Structure 1
Amino acid sequence: MNSSIRFKLSFMMFLEFFIWGAWFVTLGTFLSTNLSATGSQTASVFSTQSWGAIIAPFIIGLIADRYFNAEKILGVLHLIGAFLMYQMYNATDISMFYPYVLAYMILYMPTLALVNSVSFNQMNDPEKDFSSIRIWGTLGWIAAGLLISFYFHWDAQASAEVGLLKNTFAMAGIASLALGLFSFILPKTPPKVSKEEAVSIGGLLGFDALKLLKDKNFLLFFVSSVLICIPLAFYYQNANLFLSSIGMENATGKMTIGQASEVLFLLFLPLFFKRFGFKKTILVGMLAWAVRYMLFAYGNAGDLSIMLILGIALHGICYDFFFVSGQIYTNSMAGEKYKSAAQGLITLATYGVGMLIGFEVAGFITDNYKLVDGSTNWQMVWTVPAGIAFAVFLLFALSFSDKKITKSNIND
């Protein structure tokens, strides 16, 4: 890969995740402070990510893979996204905001697959080259958080109270406009499927891999993946609001510690996976979710702030040891015939169904523990997902058999 193409792909990844990190991390705080949203209303807004994940395969499979170059679809989606970000910036109540965020997430979620498609199309050895490109996405997310907290100070309590958090949508919109225009000079990525080739809805959603569920261990992993996304949703929906409301300074910037740890533990994952196997690796990931939420439940922004920082830093273990190792396991179980379908099925189960349920549960729990003075009993809000994560940990520990991975029972 020549240096020009490497730069273009790296900059594409940087902007792709800079856009997401620029507004999604502080979304819960914005909804509460700017739009006075309830827990249930906040859950509905966050659930748009899940609807986007469910609808994304149709956009990719029915349009991008068949009729247009991936980089051109990427450009158009981000240009429309810039307009929608501007509308979200101007929204003054939740009823005005929701239609725009729903439309935006339906258009944004497919771009996650499109940037991968553009990247892979330029690589002779994706296993070697992709990580060095993808890491720029994580750096983009980190850069957005650092700008919000340490340069613009939009998440400071005084700034949030006067409504400055809405500027995150303006920043994301400008970046979306930039990526939309930049996409048209990205390397050409023509359609991979002919217009005449038959396509099934089940194939787009990964249903062709349902026969993997005949294996008891994979079925248990599949169910656990859905269930563990319930506590995951609590983090996305409540973490920034929680940290800001209890007085942590520069909360958004400090939350980027989670992305930094994600990069670090991603380097250790292959070694851990090889030495201890899939079951122990994924159990560590599950247990980390329970531990981080108990740290949130009993930490504070004063003398116990280190507990909150540790809880944030555990994100690398929580995400990499469960989700990334789960992708490796799925790939090993599926074989060549069902590899893509299996990954699609797990994505639908986690970011689609699992987090859709999770956001609703998180909204209900948050509303249920509102106090009469309008504050929130955060200790209970975090104890609930900690309990859920620990229950999934026990279910998996007691039921999953860490036998040698075979495909013979699946591909019959």
Structure 2
Amino acid sequence: MNIKFRLTLLSFLQFFVWGAWLTTLGTYGFGIKKWSGEEFGIVFMTLGIASIFMPAIIGMIADRWINAEKIYGILHILYGITLVFLAKTDNPTTFFWILLFAMFFYMPTISLSNSLSYTILKNNNYDVVKVFPPIRVWGTIGFIAAMWITNIFSDNLSPLNFGVEAGEKLASITGNIINANQFYIASFVAIILGIYSFTMPKCPPQNVNSNSSLFEKLGLNAFSLFKDYKMALFFAFSMLLGAALQLTNMYADTFLKDFKNIAEYANSTVVQYSTMIVSISQISETLFILTIPFFLKKFGIKKVMLMSMVAWVIRFGFFSFGSPDGFGLLLIILSNIVYGMAFDFFNISGSLFVETSTDSKIRSSAQGLFMMMTNGFGAISGSYLSGVIISKFFTDVAGVKDWHGIWLTFAIYALIITVLFGIMFKHKHNPEAIGNVSH
């Protein structure tokens, strides 16, 4: 079977098992469980906590001791098993601990899937910068497919017999945990992915020189990247942008759902099909991913990252003034479209920048560090601080949230990051280096 097709299927399933529940977790926490902003922020911190050390640790193991495709498969099987227990959990504290373990298994697979794809493509003499984005775009398609299945068809795929949208409505009457279906869907596909990964081409660890120090044998030399000013600054801004990404994951679907509290919008398309509306963001990703090789070669990593940051400002700003009808609806749609540039030009380009800027012996570890800063420290700060800020400053005594103020605050945050990055990050663009990444 064609190796590009096999990696495409891997990418599709990798993000399907995340998209099945990630964007609807806000509705699950706020709508079904009635958690406070602080409680939900703490639950969402699990992604960040796991990303602080697990991707780096797993990257070191893949660099030194165990084939990348094997550890990748094991992690997905364990992730799938854990999600079954998550679906049966009601208590928020118990939910936190089980989700934390699920994230211990899943979060390392994001950077590991990149390393796996890069290694297999290079071993087959492909140009990574040109070939990887069209493969990675199917990960986004997988994410979209999972969102739609969760939104529409989960009633036929779970013993609970209700979809997420229908479940939310029924839960308001019965108090039942209906949309746990999303976890069952993700669990089943994750186990299938784990088994499939064992059939991938072998990606053995790099041989460790017998004269290497213990520091090198453990793979900790990847942390030496922080000694380089440019790389350290890149990782620092990765953390700050990781917080911005987390805000979108946590609140976009909940924001649209909350229009039901306004009588004239209660039955609007935006409220009834909020998950599908949000999925426009992922559809946009599929288009922007394909433009990355051109933009990286033409403008370089700094300008591409700046484009991403400006897009985050627009994303949050448009949400701030959005509504389910007229010009407000147009702003919501445009916000979801611009998300593609905001996410891809940061995440995918950042991963390729790390790939082209590090030694081959520590690349899995370096990808783990990138994940640690974005989905680790960035996610934790974004999850916790946003939860506290929303609860204290943008939620009234009746529990109604001031979404205009929330998104405007996030837009100002992204603008500050953009200005600082433009001033502080120095990088000389070399088109030939980008073009020769496969060598």
Alignment TM-score > 0.5, same fold:
yes
- State the one-letter code of the partner of 1:380: G
Tell me by how many angstroms 1:231 deviates. Answer: 2.4
Q: How far apart are residue 315 of structure 1 and its match?
A: 1.2
In the TM superposition, 1:152-301 aligns within 5 A as 152=154, 153-155=163-165, 157-158=168-169, 161=172, 163-193=177-207, 200=215, 203-204=219-220, 206-213=222-229, 215=230, 220-247=233-260, 248=270, 249-301=272-324
CA distance in 1, matches of 2:19, 2:182: 9
Shift of 1:332: 5.7
Structure 2 residues without counterparts, runs of 5 or longer: 155-162, 261-269, 432-439
- Per-residue displacement from partner, 1:320-370 (whole Å, max 9, x unpaired)? 233334445555655778766654443322222222211111111221221
> Could you give the per-residue CA deviations for residues 2-55 of structure 1, whole angstroms, max 9, x where no partner exists?
43x555433332222110110111111111223222212212222211222222
SS in 2 for 1:173: helix
1:367-409 Cα shifts (integer Å, max 9, x gaps) = 1221121221111111111111111122233444565569xxx
| Deviation of 1:270 (Å) | 3.3
Summarize deviations over 1:279-315 as a string: whole Å, max 9, x none. Answer: 4332222111111111111111233222111111111
Deviation, structure 1 residue 237: 1.2
- In structure 2, the residue matched to 1:35 is 33
Structure 1 residues 187 and 258, CA gap change in structure 2 (3 angstroms): same
Tell me the equivalent position of 2:334.
310
Q: Give 1:110's aligned residue.
A: 108
* Equivalent position of 1:78 in the other structure: 76
Moved more, 234-243 or 157-166: 157-166
Instruction: Pick one of 149, 152, 163 that aligns with 1:147.
Output: 149
Alpha-carbon distance between aligned partners in 1 of 2:221 and 2:35, rounded to the nearest angstrom: 33
Which residue in the other structure is 2:267 paired with? Answer: none
Contact 2:60 2:219 in 1 (8 A): no
TM-aligned CA distance change 1:340 to 1:357, over 3 Å: same
Q: 72-81 vs 97-106, which deviates more? A: 72-81
Q: Distance in 2 between matches of 1:37 and 1:349?
A: 27
1:392 and 2:409 are equivalent in the alignment = no
State how far apart, in whole Å, the 2-side matches of 1:212 and 1:346 are: 14
Contact 2:87 2:180 in 1 (8 A): yes
| Partner Cα separation in structure 2 for residue 332 and residue 63 of structure 1 | 21
Structure 2 residue 401 is the aligned partner of structure 1 residue 376: yes
Three-state SS of the structure 2 residue aligned to 1:23 is coil
Deviation per residue, 1:137-166 (Å, 9 max, x gap): 222111101112243452355256454321
Which residue number corresponds to residue 410 of structure 1?
none
Contact 1:57 1:205 in 2 (8 A): no
1:362 aligns with 2:386: yes
Query: 1:137: which partner in 2?
Result: 139
Sequence identity percentage: 34
Deviation at 1:194, TM superposition (A): 5.4
- Deviation, 1:262, is 1.4
* Separation in 1, partners of 2:295, 2:10: 31
Alpha-carbon contact 2:171-2:178 (below 8 Å) kept: yes
Residue 125 of structure 2 corresponds to 125
- Aligned-partner Cα distance in 1 for 2:222–2:313: 30
Q: Conserved in 2, the CA contact under 8 Å of 1:295 and 1:307?
A: yes
Q: 1:160 to 1:271 in 2, by over 3 A?
A: farther
Figure out how many residues of one structure are paired with residues of the other and give that number.
Answer: 401
Which residue pairs with 2:436 in the alignment? none
Tell me if structure 2 keeps the 8 A contact 1:70–1:189. Answer: yes
Instruction: Give 3-state SS (helix, strand or coil) of 1:373's partner.
Output: coil
Q: What is the CA–CA distance in structure 1 between the aligned matches of 2:190 and 2:366, rounded to whole Å?
A: 31
Are residues 145 and 291 of structure 1, via their aligned partners in 2, closer, same or farther at CA, if it must alter by over 3 Å? same
Q: Which residue of 2 aligns with 1:347?
A: 371
* Deviation (angstroms), 1:67: 4.2
- CA 1:118/1:341 → structure 2, altered by over 3 Å: closer, same or farther? closer
Partners of 1:63 and 1:336 in 2: CA distance: 15
CA shift at 1:65, angstroms? 4.3
Question: Are 1:79 and 1:181, in contact at CA under 8 Å, matched by a contact in 2?
Answer: yes
Q: 1:131 to 1:176 in 2, by over 3 A?
A: same
For 2:214 and 2:170, how far apart are their aligned partners in 1? Answer: 50
Give unpaired runs (5+ residues) of structure 1: 407-412
The alpha-carbon distance between structure 1 residues 239 and 199, as it changes in their structure 2 partners (threshold 3 A), is farther
Q: Deviations over 1:49-94 (max 9, x none)?
A: 1222222245424544444443333333222222211111110120
The amino acid of 2:287's aligned partner reads L
Distance 2:300 2:4 in 1: 34
TM-score by length of 2: 0.81
**Alignment partner of 1:51 is 2:49:** yes
Whole-Å separation in 2 of the counterparts to 1:140 and 1:324: 16
Change (3 A) 1:234 1:122: closer
